[in-house]
Amino acid sequence: MGFKCGLVGLPNVGKSTIFNALTALQVDASNYPFCTIEPNVGIVPLKDERLDKIGEIIGSAKVTPTTLEFIDIAGLVKGASKGEGLGNQFLNHIQGVDAIAHVVRCFKDENVAHTSSDFDAKNDLDVVLTELIMKDLEIVERRIAKLKQSIKSGDPKMKKQLEIVSEFERFLSQGKPLKEVELSIIAKEIIQEMNLLTIKPAIYIANVSEDKCDDETQAENLHQFGKKHGEPLVTISGKVQEEISQLDPESQKEFLDEWGLEELSLDKIIRAGYEVLNLITFFTANENEAHAWTIPAGTTVQKAAGKIHTDFEKGFIKAEVIKFNDLIAHGSETEVKHHGLMGVHGKDYIVEDGDLVFFRFNV
Ligand SMILES: Nc1nc2c(ncn2[C@@H]2O[C@H](COP(=O)(O)OP(=O)(O)O)[C@@H](O)[C@H]2O)c(=O)[nH]1
Ligand SMILES: [Mg+2]
C-alpha cells in the first residue's frame, strides 16, 4: 500500500480545509479499485511531468501517477494524551502514518475561534509536540514495566532492551523527541517495533492569511524549527487553495500563470511529504499504460518489482533500465538501445529516481 501522511494540529487550524483541497485534486478512482476510502482518508496523485513525457514517447494509452495518502486526523488538543478532547483516539491514527504533516495556524480571523489566547504559531506547535512526547513516554513506561516483569521471571535477553528503552524514557522526560537521539541499530529496531510517534519524520504547514503580511514572522519561526531536523516548511493559504482546488485543471493553470507560480501549494505539500520520507519514483511503461511507482530510496530492483506484483518479485530474472534523461535525449526506446544506453541489471541493482524499468521474470 501507499505511504501515508497524517495532517495533525490543534482544532480550527485548517486541517480539514487543506485535506479537502488536497483530495479535490482527484485521482481517477478506477485506477485504485483496491482502496476503500474512508471520509478522512484521501489518495492524492503526485504530479510528475516525466510520467507524461514517458507516456508520450512509449505511446501508452494512459498514464497512472503515483500517489500519497493523506489522513485528516482530528482530536488533538492540549491534554489529549491524558484523555482530553477525543483523547487517545488520535494516537492510533498517528501511529498508522509514515509521516506527520503539522498544520499550524498562522492566519488571523476573528470569525474562527482560536484554541489559545495568544497568537503564537510556534507555541501552538509546541502544545502538539508535547502531546506526542507525553504519549511516547506513556508507551515507553508501559514497556519498561513489562520488561522488568520478564527479567524477574528470568529472561536475560530483555536486559539489553530494558537499558535501551530506559534511555528513551530519560530523553522523553527531558521533553525531547526521539528523533533527536543518536540510535544504535538495535535501538532503531525497537523503536520501529514499538511504533513510537516522536521518531516519525515531519513536515510543517504554515496556514497563512490570504494576504500573508502579518504572518511572516510566525511562519519564519516554524521554518527555523523545522530546519533543525532537516524538515521542510510549506506556506499555504488553506482557504485559497481550497477554492483553487475546485477549479478545473485548465483554470488552475491559468491561475498559476497569472500569479507567476510554477505549482500549487498543495503540490508542494505532497512533494514535501515525499521528500521527508526519502521516497523516489521509478516508471514502467508499455503501449497500455505508463505508470509511476513510489519506493524508498535504496530499494533493490527485485524489491521494487514486488511493488507492481509479487510474481514480478518472485520470478525476477533481470531488469532493463533506461534513464529518463537518456530517453528524452534520444527520443525513443529503440534509439536509447541503439546507443548502448539500456542497462541490464540483476536483482541487487539499486533503483534510482527517474529509472524506466522493464522487468523480465518467470511465472
Ligand atoms: N481566514 C482563513 N480561514 C481559514 C483558513 N483555513 C481554514 N480557515 C477556516 O478556519 C475554520 C476551521 O478550519 P478547519 O479546516 O475546519 O480546521 P480543523 O479543525 O483544523 O480541521 C473554517 O471556518 C475554515 O474556513 C485560511 O487560510 N484563512
Ligand atoms: Mg477538521
Question: Is 331 part of a structural domain of the chain?
Answer: yes
Domain that holds residue 351: 298-361
Distance CA 132, CA 138 (A): 10
344 Cβ closer than 6 Å to some ligand 1 atom: no
For helices 158-173 and 121-152, the axis angle rounded to 10 degrees is 150
CA of 115 to the centre of ligand 1 (A): 13
Q: Could you tell which of 215, 239, 242 is best to mutate to test the pocket of ligand 1, judged by most ligand atoms within 8 Å of the CB? A: 239
Residues around the ion ligand 2 (C-beta < 5 A): 15-16
* Lowest-pLDDT range of 141-150, 206-215, 216-225, 249-258: 206-215
258: pLDDT strictly greater than 70: yes
Q: Which pLDDT band, with edges at 50, 70 and 90, does 303 fall under? A: very high
Encode pLDDT of 44-65 as tens digits: 888 899 999 999 999 999 999 9
- Mean pLDDT of the 288-294 span: 96
Q: pLDDT value at position 239?
A: 87
239 Cβ closer than 6 Å to some ligand 1 atom: yes
287: pLDDT strictly greater than 60: yes
**What's the structural domain count of the chain?**
1
Q: pLDDT value at position 139?
A: 93
19 Cβ closer than 6 Å to some ligand 1 atom: no
- Mean pLDDT of the 281-285 span: 97
CA of 283 to the centre of ligand 2 (A): 35
- Atom number of ligand 1 nearest to Cα 208: 27
CA of 307 to the centre of ligand 2 (A): 33
- Mean pLDDT of the 139-159 span: 88
Considering only CA atoms, which residue is closest to atom 9 of ligand 1? 14
Residues in the chain: 363
91 Cβ closer than 6 Å to some ligand 1 atom: no
Question: Is 353 part of a structural domain of the chain?
Answer: yes
- Atom number of ligand 1 nearest to Cα 111: 23
Question: Is 357 part of a structural domain of the chain?
Answer: yes
109 Cβ closer than 6 Å to some ligand 1 atom: yes
**Measuring CA to CA, how many Å separate 225 from each of 117, 239, 240, 279?**
22, 24, 25, 23
Q: Which pLDDT band, with edges at 50, 70 and 90, does 29 fall under? A: very low
- Sequence-ordered list of residues with C-beta below 8 angstroms from that of 206, at least 6 positions apart, any chain: 104, 106, 121, 215, 218, 219, 222, 223, 233, 234, 235, 236
Cβ atoms of 98 and 5 within 8 Å: the answer is yes
Question: Is 50 part of a structural domain of the chain?
Answer: no
- Sequence-ordered list of residues with C-beta below 8 angstroms from that of 64, at least 6 positions apart, any chain: 31, 289, 290, 291, 292
Distance CA 349, CA 18 (A): 39
Q: pLDDT value at position 187?
A: 86
Find the CATH number of the domain harbouring 353.
3.10.20.30
Encode pLDDT of 235-244 as tens digits: 988 888 888 8
For residue 360, which phi and psi values (nearest 5 degrees)?
-115, 125
- Atom number of ligand 1 nearest to Cα 72: 21
Q: pLDDT value at position 85?
A: 66
Q: pLDDT value at position 172?
A: 95
- Mean pLDDT of the residues in the chain: 88
- Mean pLDDT of the 280-307 span: 96
- Mean pLDDT of the 145-160 span: 86
Question: Is 333 part of a structural domain of the chain?
Answer: yes
317 Cβ closer than 6 Å to some ligand 1 atom: no
> 203 has which bridge partners?
101
CA of 243 to the centre of ligand 1 (A): 12
Distance CA 331, CA 86 (A): 56
15 Cβ closer than 6 Å to some ligand 1 atom: yes
218: pLDDT strictly greater than 80: yes
Higher pLDDT, 250 or 141: 141
Q: pLDDT value at position 86?
A: 64
Q: pLDDT value at position 47?
A: 86
Question: Is 223 part of a structural domain of the chain?
Answer: no
16 Cβ closer than 6 Å to some ligand 1 atom: yes
SS3 state of residue 251:
helix
74: pLDDT strictly greater than 90: no
Considering only CA atoms, which residue is closest to atom 14 of ligand 1? 14
Looking at the chain, the whole-number percentage of residues with pLDDT higher than 90 is 55
Q: Could you tell which of 112, 125, 205 is best to mutate to test the pocket of ligand 1, judged by most ligand atoms within 8 Å of the CB? A: 112
pTM: 0.89
CA of 77 to the centre of ligand 2 (A): 12
CA of 11 to the centre of ligand 2 (A): 7
Q: pLDDT value at position 33?
A: 42
Higher pLDDT, 186 or 320: 320
Higher pLDDT, 308 or 27: 308
> 233 has which bridge partners?
204
- Mean pLDDT of the 347-357 span: 97
Question: Is 224 part of a structural domain of the chain?
Answer: no
- Mean pLDDT of the 13-33 span: 73
- Atom number of ligand 1 nearest to Cα 236: 27
Question: Is 309 part of a structural domain of the chain?
Answer: yes
